[in-house]
Structure 1
Amino acid sequence: MFGAMFGGFAGGSFSAQYRVYPVSFLDKLEAENGDKIFLPPSALDRLASLHIEYPMLFKVENRRNSRSTHCGVLEFIADEGMMYMPYWMMQNLLLEEGDIVTISSATLRKGTYVKLQPHTKDFLDISNPKAVLETTLRGYSCLTKGDCICLHYNNKRYYIDIIEAKPEDAISVIETDCNVDFAPPLDYVEPSRDEYAASAAAAAAAATPPAEDARSTSGEEAAPAPEEPKFLAFVGSGRRLDGKPAAGGDPVPVKFGAFGPRLPVPAPAEPGTPGKGTAAPGARPSQKAGKVVFGSGNRLLDKQLAAQGKGPVPAPEAKPPAPKPEDAKLADEANKFHAFSGRPRSLRD
């Protein structure tokens, strides 16, 4: 009975029964971040006499409810007849403090694939879950299908179920490249079709700028666009050097096209208005379109007609009277240059 309780040999394999307690009893809280157990020194003596493969892996069974898992060993410092393991492993095996468990040596193949399922969606909020897993799983020796492991990150615990493992249900994760896949969290709820359509419409509306409407939402017409400012040539008030007011009218807008400025063209007069008809190209401003006016305005033609006796004789041109000597003297005096004889003026006047 004593040998069955504390250890025995069966065909070169190690098998023993111990009373189990959490690692907090040894003040080894860091051991909670892994699957390593603490065994008594007698177990090391028995393992050393056997041909046990390294690293040492064990199968732990709770035969009362047929639950089992796999683990590694950290130290051989436990009291005789006792074994200490992480509390999350005790929860998986449904063990209480002081319960008896059976432990035996095991050989596991290196894992190639594992599928994990977080319990809560909070695990998805981690910025880099892959790095967290790689750092956390360094404290693990093996993974068993059906176990629930606990990850400690950023002062928070994340519980993850192992729902699939390859090439066997129990695999070794020591110095191996293992592909990791994730299943949806247990509390994840698939959005309904209406919620998905609403979220898609909201995303599309946020990505597309609102179209400009000709009318406002109140039904009123949109305000007209401001008129493009016209170029006004030579605008502003003019000043003369002699101080007199400068003559000028209102500024005239000038439009510039492809071939320079276009000056405003006066509108044609209404038909029937005397003296304001449309002028023909090349005609004088005082003449009407389509007609030529002969009269005293053409003196060369009048002289030719008078020489031929076919027209009126032009009146002799009046000669200007000869200037008087007194007037010529006064004109010479007025045309002479007189320095500083004008009225003083300022440019600001």
Structure 2
Amino acid sequence: MFGGFFGGLAGGIFSGQYRCFPVSFIDKNEAETGNKIFLPSSALDRLASLHIEYPMLFKVESRSTGRSTHCGVLEFSADEGMAYMPYWMMQNLLIEEGSLVTITSATLPKGTYVKLQPHTKDFLDISNPKAVLEMTLRGFSCLTRGDCICLHYNNKKYYIDITEAKPQDAISVIETDCEVDFAPPLDYVEPQREERPAPAAAPSSSADAAAASSSAQPEETEPEEPKFLAFQGTGRRLDGKAAVGGPPVPVDLSRGGARRPPVPALPADSQAKPSAAGATANGTAGKAKAGKVVFGATGNRLLDKQQASNGAKPPASKPEEAKQEDPKFKAFAGKARSLKD
């Protein structure tokens, strides 16, 4: 019969069968953060007559699936023959809405140790998981080994498995100091360590040493390309003779300019004879033998003086040379004219 209820006294133990529904059916969604259920008021009357110890803890068992868990009670406001519990508890029992469950009173020892294992490594990103866990477990009366509880934090659900509990598989967590340990998340992957290459061994024989030395020798360098040579033509002096000097010097354009070629030293006999130019760098005339003609007006006057001392007349200047002289400027060189003319 739907909604049937069976209760009895068996050595001070409460037991009854109820139709199970999620707490969302009675608009009690806040109860999803714990493991406390809603029972009808008739269950409270029977528990009071049995003198059940507080806090009231119960064992919920599904005979169809053979799974069981433990819980507490939040209110005695459910309809007769019905029990409302969080939906995650129904998922642990593998039951659907309206399934028949057996609820029995239980006495559980206070827990001393519990080990939890998150499903995802996102739980490790919480800044203070201990505080979040303490706040969440306030809605729990007991924990059972093998259950999967749900933690609600920051608008996100975190599923955690209870892998171990002491001193029994089902413990009470009300007013007790319980040690909590965490196992690696189910999707956690151990980072792989990069293996460093082993150092190369030293050569053990003379042949290996020779091979190592031959490999260490530098390769032959390629011949350099010919550089740019400035002024490759032959030089000529003003008198038409070949200029004295060495071959052209290569210029390295990559260094930003040409390099002045070295001035070759003149032979001993040529140092005594001055060049046809006969002028030094400061503009003064160089030393010359008597009877030689040097460029410049000074050289001609010296020659004229030498010839005059010898009794010879200086040669008459050619008319062409006179023409080449620039006429000096003469003021008022024109013919005079009067106003009458």
Residue of structure 2 in register with 1:77 after alignment: 77
Report how many residues are paired.
Answer: 197
* 1:17-70 CA distance string (max 9 Å, x none): 000000000100100000000000000000010020100000000111210000
CA distance in 2 between partners of 1:144 and 1:19 (Å)? 22
The one-character-per-residue Cα deviations of 1:121-173 (angstroms, maximum 9, x if unpaired) are 00000000000001010000000000000000000000000000000000000
1:32 corresponds in structure 2 to 32
1:109 is aligned to 109
User: Which runs of structure 2 are paired with 1:279-318 in the superposition (5 Å)?
Assistant: none
Structure 2 CA distance for aligned equivalents of residues 98 and 2 of structure 1 = 9
5 Å-filtered alignment, 1:1-349, equals: 5-194=5-194
> What one-letter code is carried by the residue in structure 2 that aligns with 1:175?
E
| 3-state secondary structure, aligned to 1:9 | coil
Kept in 2, the 8 Å contact 1:4–1:16? The answer is: no
Cα distance in 2 between the residues matched to 1:116 and 1:197: 36
- The one-letter amino acid paired with 1:27 is D
Gaps of 5+ in 1: 199-349
Contact 2:19 2:100 in 1 (8 A): yes
Q: What is the alpha-carbon distance in structure 2 between the residues aligned to residue 154 and residue 2 of structure 1?
A: 40
- 1:197 & 1:141 partners in 2: Cα distance? 53
What letter is aligned with 1:71?
Answer: C
TM-superposed CA distance for 1:192, in Å, is 2.1
The residue number in structure 1 matching 2:315 is none
- Deviation of 1:186 after TM superposition, in Å, equals 0.3
Residue 5 of structure 1: how far off its partner (Å): 3.4
Aligned mates of 1:82, 1:113 — CA distance in 2? 34
Distance 1:197 1:8, change over 3 A: farther
1:2: how far off? Answer: 9.7
Question: For the residues of structure 2 that align with 1:197 and 1:134, how far apart are their CA atoms?
Answer: 44
SS in 1 for 2:9: strand
CA distance in 2, matches of 1:50, 1:76: 16
Counterpart AA for 2:26 = L
Q: Specify the SS of the correspondent of 2:25.
A: helix
Contact 1:116 1:164 in 2 (8 A): yes
Q: Is the 2:3–2:82 contact (alpha carbons within 8 Å) kept by the matching residues of 1? A: no
- Distance across 2 between alignment mates of 1:170 and 1:56: 14
Contact 2:3 2:19 in 1 (8 A): no
Residue 6 of structure 1, CA deviation: 3.2
Deviations 1:279-316 (A, max 9, x none): xxxxxxxxxxxxxxxxxxxxxxxxxxxxxxxxxxxxxx
User: Counterparts of 1:32 and 1:197 in 2: how far apart (Å)?
Assistant: 52
| Whole-angstrom CA distance in 2 between matches of 1:5 and 1:79 | 11
**TM-score, structure 1 length as denominator?**
0.55
Q: Identity over the aligned pairs, expressed in percent? A: 82
Residue of structure 2 equivalent to 1:241:
none
- SS state at 2:122 partner: helix
